[in-house]
Every structure is written in C-alpha cells, then in structure tokens.
Amino acid sequence: MKTLPVLVSRRAAVLCALLGLAAPAANAGETEVTHTKIVPPKQAVAVDEKLKAIGVPMSFAAVGSRLVIGGTKGIGAIDASGKLLWSLELPPAAARQGAAADKRGAFTPIDLGNVDRSGAMASPLLGGELSAKHEFTNATVGLVDPQGKLLWSVPSAEQAKLAPPALSAQAVGVVGTKTFALYDRATGKAVGEPVSVYVNVLGLMDGLVSQFPSRAAVVSGDVFHLVRNNYYKRVSATGEDLESSRTLGPLTPLEYVPAGPVLAGNLVVFANSPSTKDTKPLLIGAKVGGGFDWNDRMDAVVKTGTFSSTMDAPMDIAAAGGSIFVATNFSVFSYSPSGSQKWKAKNRRGGLYPSELRGARYIGNAFEKTVPVPKSFLATPLLAATDERVFVTARYTLPASAGDAASAPAGDVVEGSEAPSKGRRADGITVLDAKTGSYVETLWQADWRIIGLALFGDMLAVATGNGVVLVALK
C-alpha cells in the first residue's frame, strides 16, 4: 500500500500526463556523450589572492566589466583582469548568495539549523525523507554600493532558505521557502506584505519544500517573475501580485518547480520536476507580459536496468544565442524560443554524469524513492552557455594507474556536497557544441569541486572549494 505523500504526488502526476502536450519531435538530434578528450582548463587571468578574504565562493553576478562574488565570509568584486576592486567582510554564513545591478550588489546570507524528523510522518515507513524539515537561521538581506560600502542589512522577512536576490530600479526581491518579499532599494524597509508562494497540501508539504533551493526571480522592467514550489508569479516592484498560477489551463498542475526561471527574449522559461518515475517533466515558456506561450513534455527517460527506466528531472536552465538549454541529471536539451526541441545530448559512460552538487537526489520512504530534490541547497547555476558552447558540470574518474587520490578542496563545506570519493576523481566541465549538442571536450583538474559557473566577458568563472578560477573560452 502506498503512503499518503506518494499518493498525493502520483495523482498530480497522472493529471499532468493526461493533459500535457505531445513529446518532442522524434527527428530532433540526439547524441551520446563520453569523456574522450580530457584537457586542463586554461586560466585566462589569475584572480587576486585578496579575494580569498570573502571565504568559499558561492555565487556570481556579472555586471559589465565586473564580477560580484558572494562568499561564506563576505562579498567582493573583481574586474576582467582578475584584480580585486573591493571586498566587504561580513559575519560568517553557511551560504551567501549575491546579485548585482547598476554596479550595486545585494546579498542573502543564511545559516543552517537542525533537520526536524520528530513528526510522525518523518517515519521511514510513512513520509520518510519527504517529511524531514530543514531549518535555517540568521537569514538577512543587504545591499552594498559600487565601492563595496554596506548601505543596509536587515533581517529577512522569512527565516528560511533564501534565493539570491533580484534587483529592480526600486526594490530588492527575495524568494524564500514560502514567501516572496520586497525591500526598498534605498532604505531596506519592507515593501508591503510578503507574497505567499505556498499551499500546504493536506499538511504534508513543510518538509519537502524546505529541501528545494529557492531560485532567484528574474526582472523585466519593474516586474519580478518568480517560481517557487508549484507557483509561477509576476509581482510588481510595489508588491502587487499581478499574476499567480498553479496550473497550465484548468487542470494541469505545475507540481514542483526547481529549474529556472530564466529570461529568453520576451519569455520567462522554467521547468517542472516529475514526481514519479513515469511522469515526463514539463518545460514552460511564459510571456513577459502575462500568460503562458507554450509548454512541452521533455523526453528525459533514463534506463536504470535491462527492463527498467525512470524519468529524469530538470535542474538547470540557461538561455543564449537564441536557444534555451536544460540540464537534467543525465541529459542536456536544446530548445528553440518557440518551444521545439532542437537536440538532446545523453550521458554515456560518464560524459554527463552529474557533478557533486549538480542534479537531483531521489527521496521518499522505505517503499520507494521517486521524488527528485536538488542535491545542493544553493541556487548557483551549474550550467552556462554561449551561442557557440554549452558548459555543464560533470564527474570524471582517472584510471587507477594514473596516480594517487586527489586531495579534497580546502574549506569546502557546501551543504549537499558528497563525501570525497576514493580514487583520482573530481568535478569537471563537459563542453558541448551549442548548435548540435555534439561533444567538444572535458575541462578537468584533480582538485575541483565545482560550486557554480558564470559567463564573464570572454571567460567562464568557476567557483570551487579552493576559490575562483577564470577559464579562457578560446
């Protein structure tokens, strides 16, 4: 007999499957990816050693010729030569994610609390890990000026897992676990009441939603577009709830939304995660001005045995060069702005096997584990793209004869990271051709555990447990 949390998710999944659109066209390009060309990353410029004062890097925000980095001990900015422009040391935090606009930087630090498994539903025979409630403390929101001076810092409206902030001309918007809150950009004062992004279905959802990372809103004009739990919302900079959707059409639910949003021209793109092994994930294009433009069921099936398979989950989305790229645990998809699949690259012998912080872990109870939850609590992207190349973090293992085990990165305590593996194994970056999905190469070095990626001019910024690396793209 299935437990109640599984029944709830299965019923929603069946509705999605019945009412969703057809799968992508069968003639879309499909390739298998294997690590066959391993190359060391070419450092474009050296990063100023003084940046290490901000601790382990956890987020990037590129604004023109500067890169703002959020770290466990503060926030800082470098220019395209790797020179430190400024750094601001702040009270240590387990996670600090940042954003920037008009050369101003905003940040949202949090500390990790307990994991509450005291409820009856957290029993392994009932809800199990689905009902394990993760707690967070010391959540704040702050803003710095172009010289790195702290303008204000205030307690978050919700003591929860916070997204990187989003900045409009008037406000700083922060997605939490259950709410979206706005802060006046000039003063840090709350703008209206927080907007709810949460419905506790049958009282069973508190634990599950505490485990999903909060993704940053995207801003178009003075409107914030955000996804959280099973909501898509448009909220004005004055706090007006302009649009709130939990379904596509009358009955197709959004379910869990762990991927996106990203801006792609006049669209806001995000993705559903399947709640069971039989439900195809849903990629959605919403109009910037309101309403939905298209949606597509992604053919993300993964073979798990001779006679078995499961459905993979989208976790990262990027837009570049007129295309939308989506990464699941074992595949990367390319879509056109109209919602048509252009190509699909599939893992083969580890080519797209997820890095330690990318992708999903599957949770549930003693009977089955089918609900995909992101590995990391951070919302830092692990997928990046230009109009020529797609970069996605992956794992690679050297043959046993290649040398001793790589040492673990110093100071890497990112929530969600796995214990160091035996053997000379580390995270790398699989590079694909953006037009065709074909494999180009794998960037790899032995001491990498990758926390995030970002494009910065003609470089790829890589956040690792040992600091920031600026990799040359050409």
Closest by Cα among 466, 471, 469 to 55? 466
Task: Give the pLDDT of residue 279.
Answer: 82
Q: Which residue has the higher pLDDT, 198 or 127?
A: 198
DSSP 45-73: EPPPGGGGGG-SEEEEEEETTEEEEEETT
Q: Strands 29-33 and 341-347, how do they pair?
A: parallel
Please report the domains of the chain, with CATH numbers, ordered by start residue.
Answer: 4-22+30-472 (2.130.10.10)
pLDDT of res. 244: 96
- Range in 69-78, 129-138, 327-336, 431-440 the model is least confident about: 129-138
Of 24-28, 291-295, 371-375, the poorest mean pLDDT is in: 24-28
Sign of the CA dihedral running 199, 205, 210, 213: negative
pLDDT tens digits, residue range 371-397? Answer: 888 888 899 999 999 999 999 999 987
Per 3-state DSSP, the chain is made up of helix, strand and coil in percentages (nearest 5) of: 10, 45, 45
Phi-psi region of 290 (alpha: psi -120 to 50; beta: other; left: phi over 0): left
Q: Which residue has the tokens 């939490």?
A: 176
Block residue for tokens 């609390």: 113
Question: Which pLDDT score, from 0 to 100, does residue 309 have?
Answer: 72
Give the C-alpha separation, 237 to 135, whole Å.
29
Model confidence over 227-245: pLDDT tens digits? 999 899 999 999 999 999 9
Q: Which amino acid is at 463?
A: A
Listed in sequence order, the residues at least 6 apart from 1 whose beta carbon sits closer than 8 Å to its beta carbon are none
Query: Would you state the structure tokens that stand for residue 196, as one six-digit string?
Result: 């709810």
Q: What is the dihedral of CA 125, 258, 467, 472, to 10 degrees?
A: 140
User: Following CA atoms 153, 157, 161, 164 in sequence, which dihedral angle do they give, to the nearest 10 degrees?
Assistant: -50
For the ranges 79-93, 278-292, 395-409, 416-430, which has the lowest average pLDDT? 395-409
pLDDT given for residue 474 in this prediction: 78
Q: Which SS3 state, helix, strand or coil, does residue 10 take?
A: helix
> Has residue 351 got a pLDDT over 80?
yes
Q: What is the pLDDT of residues 87-135, one digit of tens each?
A: 999 999 998 999 888 778 889 988 888 888 888 777 887 888 888 888 9
- pLDDT (0 to 100) of residue 364: 82
pTM for this model (two decimals): 0.88
Q: Are 162 and 153 in contact (CB under 8 A)?
A: no
